[in-house]
Homo-oligomer: A and B are copies of this chain.
């Protein structure tokens, strides 16, 4: 397999509802996660839903982080997709710590494609 990135899929629960419903806390946690993951921020969108719930997407030079919270269930879903550089596990630890999830499930998916690398008509490929 030609692996291009590591994707950590996180489901976490038993988090305090007030943390999961605090967009500024989540924004700070994401910025801390980007730093801990040694990633490069391109853009971030943090959105609060009514009556509750926060969703955020972080565009990185390394790919993305996304988080969606359900305060009413004490649950959040997070995705950390890092290509090449960066430390997605470290970023994940920050999110878990910041949102104080007592229960946590994560799986790692190697992203990429099988076989011989094709389509090399472009120049300047690393």
Contact = CB atoms under 8 A, between A and B. Distances in A.
Interface of A: 2, 4-5, 7, 9, 11-17, 21, 42-43, 45, 47, 49, 51-52, 55-61, 63-64, 66, 68, 70-75, 77, 79, 81, 83, 103, 105, 109, 111-113, 117-125
B81 A79 contact: yes
A112 B61 CA distance: 28
B42 A73 contact: no
B14 A51 contact: no
**Residue from the set A58, A119, A121 with the largest chain B CB neighbour count within 10 Å:** A119
Nearest to A112: B11
B63 A68 contact: yes
Contacts of A112: 11, 75
Copies of the chain in the assembly:
2
The majority secondary structure among interface residues of chain A is strand
A109 to B, nearest CB: 6
22 contacts: A7-B79, A9-B111, A12-B113, A17-B119, A17-B121, A45-B45, A45-B57, A55-B59, A55-B60, A55-B63, A57-B64, A63-B68, A64-B66, A66-B66, A71-B119, A71-B122, A72-B119, A72-B120, A72-B125, A73-B113, A74-B118, A77-B81
